[in-house]
Amino acid sequence: MAQIVTLGEIMLRLSTPGNQRFVQADSFDVCYGGGEANVAVSLAGFGYDVSYVTKLPKNEIGDSALMALRREGVDCSKIARGGERLGIYYLETGASVRPSKVVYDRAHSAIAEAKPEDFDFDAIFEGAKWFHFTGITPAISDSAAEVTKAALIAAKKHGVTVSCDLNYRKKLWSSEKAKAVMTDLMQYVDVCIGNEEDAQKVLGFVPGNTDVTKGSLELAGYEAMFRQMQEQFGFRYVVSSLRESISASDNNWSAAIWNGREFYHSKTYKLHIVDRVGGGDSFAAGLICGLMDGKTGPEALEFAVAASALKHTIPGDFNHVTRAEVDALAGGDGSGRVQR
């Protein structure tokens, strides 16, 4: 019986080797990943019983995605099988002033065409404590949005805490469609996670004069935005990762949290990035882990930021770190000295 449930799409990731451009590559590095799958893997690594819910095609590629999750200790017993294909995304990893690029090939994937009746959500949430989803899943298709809402209704029926990472993806839907769908789903959410673009494009909130493309943060604007979001939707926590993009290779990374009484800004990490894909998912997983552990909001936030900072140093979607490593970094050991 899983303590934590996540729902979403796991995809085949095809990445150009090193920092090659698509036009240069004559081979791709292969791994699997996707927002909620990445969260599930992180939480399993932290010792929680996690069940991942999706639909995978009944073929060898679907089997490979399933095995990638099982290797990481994720419960896959609630995954439905069927549909035509697994979604794919292509990644060109940028460097310095050249940004990374993602090309999606996920139309008509198995989860995009899944129906609510493919899943027994009452059984899935029986005994569960936490449910996590992202704005990516309802963006995949109208059918996937229906599946997400059915899951949310069942989760609240069973008294499960719900977190959502807003995760706006302009290649999947418009801001107008995102607002229409996600505003309705927010009634089920206890912990809302997102960055400044997510808050604006998905829910219509703007954090003051912040311009992350110029490495500029205005924390007072975030606090005001958090207050407005909580007043409108009644969130227990409002959380935002704060990425100051110096270049594709170097970012400043921190986060902020609001619990209705106090605003807290974490310590800032100066990151030299190996792979930033999955960075937000590792942050969400760290936050969930901290709150499930019984940490205070600020303590959970520091754990989340440290976990995510480490993820930026690891190739692939999944965050292969231990609690001890996260605790060490959160405690101030960011020297990177060789461990002998």
What local confidence, expressed as pLDDT, does residue 183 receive?
96
Tell me the pLDDT tens digit for each residue of 93-121. 999 999 999 999 999 999 999 999 999 99
pLDDT confidence bin for 333, thresholds 50/70/90: confident
What local confidence, expressed as pLDDT, does residue 57 receive?
98
**Chain mean pLDDT for the chain:** 94
pLDDT at 2 over 90: no
What local confidence, expressed as pLDDT, does residue 207 receive?
79
Q: How many CA atoms lie within 13 A of 249 on its CB side?
A: 6
User: Which residues are registered as beta bridge partners of 263?
Assistant: 258
Residue 177 has a CB neighbour count (10 Å cut-off) of: 14
The answer to whether residue 105 is catalytic is no
pLDDT at 23 over 90: yes
pLDDT at 215 over 90: no
**Annotated catalytic residue within 281, 317, 327, 333:** 281
Tell me the pLDDT tens digit for each residue of 181-195. 999 999 999 999 999
Tell me the pLDDT tens digit for each residue of 231-282. 999 999 999 999 999 999 999 999 999 999 999 999 999 999 999 999 999 9
Predicted TM-score (pTM) of this structure: 0.94
Phi, psi of 314 (to 5 degrees): -120, 125
Tell me the pLDDT tens digit for each residue of 264-278. 999 999 999 999 999
What domains can you pick out in the chain, each with its CATH number? 4-329 (3.40.1190.20)
Per-position DSSP letters for 55-108, written without gaps between them: EE-SSHHHHHHHHHHHHTT-B-TT-EE-SS---EEEEE--BTTBPPEEEEE-TT
CA–CA separation, 137 and 34 (whole Å): 10
